Amino acid sequence: MKYYTKEHEWLELAADGIATVGITDYAQKQLGDVVYVELPAIGKAVTQSGEMAVVESVKAASEVYAPISGTVVAVNQDLPANPALVNSEPQGAGWFVKLQLSDEGELAKLLDEAGYQTYLASLS
Amino acid sequence: MVDSPLLTPLYHWHQAQGAKLVPFAGWQMPLQYAGIVAEHLHTRSAASLFDVSHMGQLLLTGRGADRALEQLLPGDIVGLAEGRMRCSLLTLSHGGILDDLMVVRLPSQEAESQGAVSRLHLIINAARRQVDEAHLRAHLPPDVQLEVLSNRALLALQGPTAAAVLAPLSPKAIDLPFMAAAELMVGDIPCLVMRSGYTGEDGFELSCAAENAVALADLLIAQEGVLPAGLGARDSLRLEAGLCLYGHDIDEQTNPVEAGLVWTIAKHRRDDSQGFLGAAAVLSALKNKAAAGARQRVGLTLAAGNPPAREGAVIENLAGQPIGVVTSGGFSPSLQLPIAMGYVPADVAAGGVQVVVRGQRYPATLTLLPFVPNCYVRPTKP
């Protein structure tokens, strides 16, 4: 199941309780060409809405917030050499981190697909 | 009170082209159309059209307009031939830079009983329009007229194919060498055509009446290989070309010598400490440019894969001591690595340093500017 934040991060929860996290297509379009991604160390604890990563486009650096609290169990090793994956496949090969959730109850604070689409529609 | 943003004559044209419009220096300007990297690379390989109508255009007229303007800047304006242009700096009494500007000498006009009247077309930074105008009005003598050309647009056609694009529309334009200008028709639109730009590429800047701006933009964009480009690409292009951005790399606290702009100080004006506003300070900086305490604007590169070192990033020596600050920085689409400009002490202006980005230290190398060689079409010596 896929969840979203109003800050345009996405989270996909697998059956093993590990969540893959990235930024949405809307976010990458707003950023433009991504040239650098700063990822957290494996083992780092992140808190919901707290700083998790930094994504840099040609024109600016932007914070990426953790959509949910947890521990970083993996980071996308392809991003340092190929940050443009965030533009080309933001919700696939351009993922940022995998998190072991610490509180599944926080999922209730996130948007589902329909809720996120409604939110996007309200922005335009 | 919130002032509503100023709009160039091409505002709706940008919207129709799919631009992302952002506030800049009080104006609503196109940041990008297809994307900054694509627009940047297109400018380096073909030709791009930029709207730079936010820049101020002024006309100085009067018999002694050239001599009067020389009192406010270190360049040679009296010796500037008709149809030639020069980049210069308005200086302040303490030697700081009020603005950088282009000065174009238009053909003189014969006026009754006055003889030849100098006409100088100035192009100034958008964010400095009010400041520059007030400064000029305060310092220019009453017999020099200053007219703000508020009903003019400015378009820049930049890139290696710019001349080929313009040739069928304005055959005489392509005979202009770099830093020359002429009043010419482009299609059926009268323009002041200048062989100049802010990208490091060959190209033209075209000043036309605001009412003709849309027609001129439509005409140019209809030519094969011409795409629109926004302020994002303009910034990354000028950074690669090693060109200063006012308010970032130079400002009222920067003197022309440390900024590496000694070339704007005419050779024959380097001995007269009363020759222009701030001459004593500027010429003293010139004599002492290698002295202890002197700074120098330099380029920095980071290896591919490192984060961009942006404005404000601290530059340290390899012992970890702060020695300077980045004034402009970002990612170079041409080189595919981070580049930056900043100030360091003049005696360490080469070699290895480190820059601090979000608390982490990354190795960087001080380099000469520009990062990407300029491709200007120089005048051929007869």
Residue pLDDT, tens place only, B186-201: 999 999 999 999 999 9
Residue A46 lies in a domain: yes
Judged by CB atoms closer than 8 Å, whether chains meet at B232 and A32 is answered as yes
Domains of chain A: total: 1
User: Chain B residues with CB inside 8 Å of A83's CB?
Assistant: none
Q: Average pLDDT in the A89-99 region? A: 98
- Which of A56, A59, A81 minimises the CB distance to B307? A56
Please return the burial class of B280, using the count of CB atoms within 10 Å of its CB with bins 0-12, 13-18 and 19+.
Answer: middle
In a domain, A121, yes or no: no
Query: What pLDDT, on a 0 to 100 scale, did the predictor assign at position A100?
Result: 97
Assess if residue A122 is contained within a domain.
Answer: no
CA–CA separation, B331 and B309 (whole Å): 9
**B331–A61 C-beta distance less than 8 A:** no
Q: Which residues, at least 6 apart from A114, have a Cβ–Cβ distance to it below 8 Å?
A: none
The secondary structure of residue B75, as a DSSP letter, is: S
Indicate the pLDDT class of residue B379, thresholds 50, 70 and 90.
Answer: low
Cβ contacts of residue A42 below 8 Å, gap of 6+? A72, A73, A74, A75
**Segment among A19-23, B300-304, B375-379 with least mean pLDDT:** B375-379
CATH of B6-54+151-240, one of 3.30.1360.120, 3.30.530.20, 3.30.930.10, 3.90.700.10: 3.30.1360.120
Rounded CA-CA distance B88/B144 in Å is 19
Answer with the residue of higher pLDDT: B291 or B200.
Answer: B200
A56 contacts in B (CB within 8 Å)?
307-308, 331
Percent of chain B residues past pLDDT 70, beyond the cut: 98
Rounded to 5°, the CA angle B16-B231-B200 comes to 125
Q: Could you give phi then psi for residue B352, rounded to 5 degrees?
A: -95, 140
Q: At what angle do helices B36-45 and B231-240 cross, to 10 degrees?
A: 60
- Using an 8 Å Cβ cutoff, are A107 and A115 in contact? no
Q: How far is Cα of residue A47 from the mean position of the Cα atoms in its chain?
A: 13
Q: Answer whether residue A111 is part of any domain.
A: no
Contacts of A76 (CB under 8 A, 6+ apart): A37, A39, A85, A93, A94, A95, A96, A97
Q: Where are the beta strands (DSSP E) in chain A?
A: 2-4, 9-13, 18-23, 34-38, 45-46, 51-57, 61-65, 70-75, 97-101
Q: Is the pLDDT of residue B29 over 80?
A: yes
Contact A58 B330 (CB under 8 A): yes
Note whether B30 contacts A: Cβ–Cβ < 8 A.
Answer: no
CATH number of the domain where residue A56 is located = 2.40.50.100
The model's pLDDT over A95-114, given as tens digits with 9 standing for 90+, comes to 999 999 999 999 999 999 99
Residue A32 to residue B305, Cβ atoms within 8 A: no
Cis peptide before B345, with omega less than 30 degrees from 0?
A: no
Q: Which residue of A has its CA nearest to B37?
A: A33
The pair of structure tokens assigned to B211 is 């009412």
Degrees to nearest 5, angle at CA B64 with B58 and B67: 85
Interface probe with A: pick from B36, B306, B334, B361, most Cβ of A within 10 Å: B36
pLDDT in tens, B201-219: 999 999 999 999 999 999 9
A-to-B residue pairs, Cβ atoms closer than 8 angstroms: 46
Q: What is the ipTM of this complex?
A: 0.90
Q: How far is A42 from chain B (nearest CA, A)?
A: 17
Instruction: Say which CATH class B290-367 falls into.
Output: mainly beta
Q: Write the CB contacts of B45 (distance below 8 Å, at least 6 apart in sequence).
A: B159, B160
Q: Does B35 touch chain A (CB under 8 A)?
A: yes
Question: Does residue A118 fall inside a structural domain?
Answer: no
Q: How many CB atoms lie within 10 A of CB A85?
A: 20
Boundaries of every domain in chain B: 6-54+151-240, 290-367
Query: For residues B213 and B10, is the Cβ–Cβ distance under 8 A?
Result: yes
- Domain of residue A55: give its range: 2-104
| A21 inside domain | yes
Percent of chain B with pLDDT over 90: 93
- pLDDT for B290 equals 86
